[in-house]
Structure 1
Amino acid sequence: MSTDADEFRVRFYRLGRELAFMAESGPFPGVYAPPPPHPDGVADHASPAVAWDWPRYGIPVPDDWPPGVYLAHFIEGDDRRARAVPLLDDAGIEGHEREFFLVRPRHPGKNARILYKKSTFTRHAYNRSDRADAQRASSLYDNPVHQEGGPGMPRGHRLSLHRPGGVIDLAYWDAPFIAWLERSGYDVEYCTDLDLHEDPELLTPYRLLLSVGHDEYWSADMRARVSAFVRGGGNVAFFSANTCWWRVHPVDGNTAFVSDTDHRVGEVYPHLPATDLWWPAPPDGVGEPENALTGVSFRNGGMWPGEWPGDRPRAGYRVQHADHWVYEGTGLRDGSDGGPPDALGAGTALIGYECDGAAFVRDEDGIARASGVDGTPESFLILGIYLLDPVHDDFHHLKWGHWNCPEREPEITGPRAATMGLYTAGGTVFTAGTTDWPVVCGRELDAGVVRVTRNVLDRLAGPATADR
């Protein structure tokens, strides 16, 4: 904590069906520490590449705090000033002077079969380290720091995990979905990307792993452990998109990571080759397409222009295979009865802000089927599809899954579409193919999306059956 106030306090809340106040700690003496300067001398900005080394304050977690995602709210000033600050509610999760952390169970899996992975590497990548009155703009996207690498140190953009930042993504994607999970009676435990990276046994007690919202940055160990979990009969639900797009290399005792992305290096943009992109073959990338795990790829999807989360079409997913268990109880039709096919999530901003897709072809009945030409498993079944061509006049460039993908893949290789589906390879992997699925479900904006989510959780988190 760094503050020029004489003292400060910390209020703690737990995210659940509502934001629940847990405790207040302090007062603590305030100590000011400046942010580290940017190595390129970028005026008014700070370095994203080094630990900020602010003064540390240890606060024990009470024994009676249940596992979950917690919010810390930092309040400057004396007791009189603190009393004037009202307690936060659900509308106050996002903002500066806030940070989140997880409380893990003492006995993992004892009370829950579902493990929710909070995408913390992605959060750090986008964290600009701003505060309410200062636009520091230091991240992997704003004034990034690139290193050439050497013995024991990978080449790429470097990012410290020990930086301040406030809360944005947690409030947008996670909070409404976590609230819905608890309202709906699901017992869930939580982990971070770093937990999955560090602990080879983390997934063992669980039946279902959840990836939620925006889950872009993965380490090789994370991916290997999830792949092994599936091969061994574990299930995964990707209620997310832009998933596993960049590889990261944790360094410095896992307090920082390096990723060779296409982000700016000096005056060069895009920086190519970006060797930590998962799908291209070496030496231009890792050579392990992410859709081999997820079934879908940002390469076959896209994003909407403008400010996040952006305006976008609200047509929803065209339903296929309406007799599949995923659609049970929705009443949705696929056109096989002679009528028009229904659209899952129609009228909501379900597709996007970013979305992933599977390379596909259409059969003689017009049904989209995964071609598997770029690594999607043969058993992947497309259950919902939204064609991205055309959407906007400038969407030709967006649909490739990244601003400069035409630099890598100049020829159009087939139609692109946001894709919902699943495959089985030991365990079952479901993908929603869109970042905003947890928003639509969590806020209960569409009954069909809610029911599909329930069907996935109930089937994949329940006891193992012959057909998973």
Structure 2
Amino acid sequence: MRIHVHTTAQKYNIEIVRDGASPLRVWSRVGQAGEAHETPVDAYERGCGWPVSVSFDIDENCLSGFYLIVVSMEMGGRTYEREGFFVVRGQDRPHRPSHVLVLTTSTMTAYNDWGGANHYRGLGNDPYTDIASPRLSTQRPVARGMLRQPIGAPRASFPGVLELGALPRHPSYEWAHVHGYSRHAADAFWATYERPFVVWAESQGYALEYLTQHDLHEDPGCLDSYACVTFVGHDEYWTWEMRDTVERYVKNGGNVARFGGNFIWQVRLEEGGTRQVCYKLPELDPLYEINPSRTTTAWDAPCVSRPGAWTMGLTGTAGCYNRYGTAAPRSSGGYTVYRPRHWVFDNTDLNYGDVFGAAPVCVAGFELDGVDYTFRHGLPYPTFEDGAPETLEILAMTPAVVGEIDKWNGAVPLGAPESEVKSFLQTVFADQLPERFRGECYGSGMVATFMQGKGNVFNAGSTEWVNGLIHADPFTEQITHNVLRRFGGGNSPDS
């Protein structure tokens, strides 16, 4: 393992911690000589280019896991810390765990604004104009807050009561600004999503091994040793190859437990996987005229012709925002149950029409996934017009909207203005704009299951599902147990 450190301090300390329910320090050094290095102004795209500062060997018996690299320095009586990470994959051995957690490294890369830009904003000289970088390097630090946050840091969903006439709030952005964290600290990755799931799962007796989305891209057979593959939180960005790996695994009999939401974008990896590309608007991508199916835009775009629902059953373009700014700010924040007899709801005592995970927990918040649907005799059914699998069953639902409505003519900051999203959809689909994106653009977040080949997929359809585990919501916990136990091949957690 080679670590690249840039610091103005004369000395610094470094430690490696296997993170989880019981963090374990596995390596440390104190009094390392500090050195500052020149950093390119476009490090967000090119990478930092810093030399190796510290290296060490990973023991061959090292447990699979997520490892934090914590670098600290002392100045003026205060301690300053920053973090990096690496992941150790599981080894081929007898009696390995049946569950593997795939970390959402592509989405982390998309939101990581260290160096000044990400796939959303940062370019140009006007701080009030969002200009995204379509090309991002993985060879740079991770923005502050994506790897570690203090307990109680706000999440992207709004858990409170919005009074009549009150202005919309984005607590996570406000908190990040005040405390010096990245604006996107609560939008993606370990601290907000995977870590709370791991803490809960380990405390419940589940043994996990670890992979990343980059493993899915580089190694098509990396999932084959596991009964259940889990995705948690925000897995918005995928390559074609990542989807191929998951679809092949499920068709061959594997099970996917997705406790996440917002499945939308195709990206490409270049430079040996060290650079991620996502232009979003098709005509901006140099590959658009050469190989349109690999254009880095929404999976549901006509040029790509590979609906997102094929892989996960649900997609962000049919769902999206809830309990976020002006996007359904006074909704229940939970899911309404429609098929209570499904095995997913075993031992939950939930009935038709019941709501679970409501505010302030908000298991159905921030960004949600759904499909085009209709109602018959009080039950929701997919229309299958957007590529949903024929075996898809919709189990629970909540309202979602395409974006935030601006009632203040630009005077109030919004995270995802409806006008911008509609403009994007019109550009991507042009004269093939689906009917569901015309008019008011209302959608739904959904909990759903389906079979594909010999395997099964459960989709919680919400980035905030893990909040139900954080707050020990009994319904969310029991549903999660039902899925992990059934898909893991047993009725009890791993020993």
TM-score (norm 1): 0.79
Matches within 5 A, 1:70-81: 70-77=67-74
Equivalent residue, structure 1, for 2:300: 279
Matches within 5 A, 1:346-361: 346-347=358-359, 348-361=361-374
Please tell me whether the aligned partners of residues 297 and 356 of structure 1 are also in contact (alpha carbons under 8 angstroms): yes
SS of match in other structure, 1:351: coil
| C-alpha deviation, 1:362, in angstroms | 0.3
* Aligned counterpart in structure 1 of residue 393 of structure 2, from 364, 372, 381: 381
Please tell me whether the aligned partners of residues 114 and 206 of structure 1 are also in contact (alpha carbons under 8 angstroms): yes
| C-alpha deviation, 1:67, in angstroms | 1.6
Change (3 A) 1:122 1:26: same
1:339-368 Cα shifts (integer Å, max 9, x gaps): xx21121232111211111111000x2211
Equivalent residue, structure 2, for 1:54: 50
Asked if 1:321 is matched to 2:346, the reply is no
Q: For 2:120 and 2:395, how far apart are their aligned partners in 1?
A: 34
* Aligned counterpart in structure 1 of residue 483 of structure 2, from 445, 448, 456: 456
Please tell me whether the aligned partners of residues 321 and 368 of structure 2 are also in contact (alpha carbons under 8 angstroms): yes
SS of match in other structure, 1:229: helix
Change (3 A) 1:76 1:310: farther
Change (3 A) 1:115 1:385: same
Equivalent residue, structure 2, for 1:422: 449
Change (3 A) 1:306 1:359: closer
SS of match in other structure, 1:97: strand
Change (3 A) 1:209 1:128: same
Q: For 2:283 and 2:12, how far apart are their aligned partners in 1?
A: 38
Q: For 1:24 and 1:309, how far apart are their aligned partners in 2?
A: 46
Equivalent residue, structure 2, for 1:23: 27
Asked if 1:224 is matched to 2:220, the reply is no
Change (3 A) 1:455 1:398: farther
Equivalent residue, structure 2, for 1:290: 308
How many aligned positions are there? 409
1:106-151 Cα shifts (integer Å, max 9, x gaps): 326842111100001110111111xxxxxx5321222359xxxxxx
Q: Unpaired segments of 5 or more residues in structure 2?
A: 125-132, 147-188, 285-291, 408-415
Equivalent residue, structure 2, for 1:251: 270
Q: For 1:399 and 1:419, how far apart are their aligned partners in 2?
A: 24
| C-alpha deviation, 1:423, in angstroms | 0.3
Equivalent residue, structure 1, for 2:200: 180
Asked if 1:35 is matched to 2:32, the reply is no
Equivalent residue, structure 1, for 2:473: 446
SS of match in other structure, 2:190: helix
Asked if 1:344 is matched to 2:352, the reply is no
Please tell me whether the aligned partners of residues 298 and 400 of structure 1 are also in contact (alpha carbons under 8 angstroms): no
The amino acid across from 1:114 in the alignment is: H
| C-alpha deviation, 1:412, in angstroms | 4.1
Change (3 A) 1:176 1:312: farther
Matches within 5 A, 1:2-401: 2-38=6-42, 47-56=43-52, 57-77=54-74, 97-107=82-92, 110-129=95-114, 136-143=115-122, 157-165=134-142, 166-168=144-146, 169-243=189-263, 245-262=264-281, 275-282=296-303, 286-304=304-322, 313-334=331-352, 341-347=353-359, 348-363=361-376, 365-388=377-400, 398=418
| C-alpha deviation, 1:8, in angstroms | 1.8
Q: Unpaired segments of 5 or more residues in structure 1?
A: 39-46, 86-94, 130-135, 146-155, 266-272, 335-340
Change (3 A) 1:415 1:5: closer
SS of match in other structure, 1:4: coil
| C-alpha deviation, 1:406, in angstroms | 4.7
Change (3 A) 1:439 1:325: same
Please tell me whether the aligned partners of residues 302 and 398 of structure 1 are also in contact (alpha carbons under 8 angstroms): no
Please tell me whether the aligned partners of residues 31 and 55 of structure 1 are also in contact (alpha carbons under 8 angstroms): no
Please tell me whether the aligned partners of residues 109 and 206 of structure 1 are also in contact (alpha carbons under 8 angstroms): no
Change (3 A) 1:413 1:346: closer
Q: For 2:327 and 2:232, how far apart are their aligned partners in 1?
A: 16
Please tell me whether the aligned partners of residues 397 and 444 of structure 2 are also in contact (alpha carbons under 8 angstroms): yes
TM-score (norm 2): 0.75
Q: Percent identity?
A: 27
SS of match in other structure, 1:172: coil
SS of match in other structure, 1:221: helix
The amino acid across from 2:299 in the alignment is: W
Equivalent residue, structure 2, for 1:338: none
| C-alpha deviation, 1:455, in angstroms | 0.1
The amino acid across from 2:242 in the alignment is: M
